[in-house]
Amino acid sequence: MPASGDLIQAAAGGALIGLASVLLLAFNGRIMGVSGIWSNLIRASEGFGWRLAFVAGTVAAPLLVGVLRGGVEIQVDAPTPLLALAGLLVGAGTALGSGCTSGHGICGISRLSPRSITATLIFMAAGFVSVAIMRHVIGGGA
């Protein structure tokens, strides 16, 4: 169980994420669904400019936070083959399912979308099972 300070930061960070999605909708009329933003960016389908700007902001943000807090530390345990497989499934799954944690989980639920509520419940459950198998059945891994 993490420290209470971490959980407070979780709440603050969550609020920022929510705010980001509201701003994008209020001003640009766009859904802050990162899988869609990225997928359309790499296919140069439409809205290349704002999509690139959003991605640039997302990439730059940890650097700015790091400046204020003396660095950002994360732990990426997955070995390269597993990392690549994970990426492949996340890419294929979000494309097929039309969304991810930000698109369905935040924006879709905020719109009370039955599709998004369903999608979120399913990918959450799948995530739980995936980790349970990786950590408690197979052992080791990520």
The DSSP output letter for 111 is: T
Helices (H), ranges, 47-113: 48-69, 80-97, 109-110
Buried b or exposed e, range 63-94, using 16+ CB within 10 angstroms: eeeeeeeeeeeeeeeeeeeeeeeeeeeeeeeb
Q: Residue 117 is encoded by which pair of tokens?
A: 């509520």
Least distance between other proteins and beta carbon 16 (Å):
3
The answer to whether 105 and 116 have CB atoms below 8 angstroms apart is yes
Q: Are 40 and 46 in contact (CB under 8 A)?
A: yes
Nearest distance, CB of residue 137 and other proteins, angstroms: 10
Q: How many CB atoms lie within 10 A of CB 102?
A: 19
